[in-house]
Amino acid sequence: MKFFVDTADVSAIKELNDLGMVDGVTTNPSLILKSGRDIVEVTKEICDMVSGPVSAEVVATEAKAMIAEGLKLAKIAPNIAIKVPLTWDGLTACKAFSSEGHMVNVTLCFSAAQAILAAKAGATFVSPFIGRLDDIHMDGVELIDDIRTIYDNYDYKTQILAASIRTVNHIIDCAKIGADVITAPPAVIKSMVNHVLTDKGLEQFLKDWAKTGQKI
């Protein structure tokens, strides 16, 4: 499973990237706002740091304008994945981009039907939003499972990029199902290391070591 980091915080990306925990990055208008930086400047810095795909999202809602914006974003770096919403206009733009060899991330996917359309339009990635489905009392992980089954049935090449990851359990469930990629905030990825028994075991080892009076 590939790990994408869902942030535009360059320092947070660098920390994880230095440990080999970053296969790509996803951004969106909300994350750009949170960074407080110019979209081109911060995206270029991220692209220079990370060798994998970096998703940069269009903000237009009409296909022609999406295409114009996406082509501008694609000029930032070779590893840009143009991010478009899962609307009919977004699919039109996706087809235009994929036909020209650009990576495309089709985002805001909430159904298996939408995921099929994204694959047919040539999306590199489709981003089903797990947490937001959970918020409305639907099973976000079940959607990942449905898409995996359908894509495998027809050998669709579009990668399942599980998004809106809120918990470590989301990541584990997606890994068991076979999602190609997860994108999560840095804090969620870092929290994967936590376990009460690890903490308890380390505490006991240190206490016992102190009793030996030795140094390494």
Q: How far is CA 72 from CA 2, 55, 205, in A?
A: 27, 13, 56
Catalytic hit among 83, 95, 120, 215: 83
Assigned CATH topology for domain 2-212: TIM Barrel (3.20.20)
Nearest to residue 2, comparing CAs of 193, 163, 112, 149? 163
Answer whether 120's CB lies under 8 Å from 106's CB: no
Domain limits of the chain? 2-212
Q: pLDDT tens for residues 8-30? A: 999 999 999 999 999 999 999 99
What are the structure tokens assigned to 174, written together?
């997606």
Residue type, 76: I
Q: pLDDT tens for residues 134-148? A: 999 999 999 999 999
Provide, for the chain, the percentages of residues in helix, strand and coil under a 3-state DSSP scheme, each rounded to the nearest 5.
Answer: 55, 20, 30
- Active site (annotated) includes residue 83: yes
d(CA 114, CA 77): 28
Q: pLDDT tens for residues 64-107? A: 999 999 999 999 999 999 999 999 999 999 999 999 999 999 99
Q: pLDDT tens for residues 115-136? A: 999 999 999 999 999 999 999 9
pLDDT at 165: 98
pLDDT at 129: 98
The structure's pTM equals 0.96
pLDDT at 61: 98
Tell me whether strands 24-26 and 54-57 are parallel, antiparallel or unpaired: parallel
pLDDT at 160: 99
Q: pLDDT tens for residues 150-204? A: 999 999 999 999 999 999 999 999 999 999 999 999 999 999 999 999 999 999 9
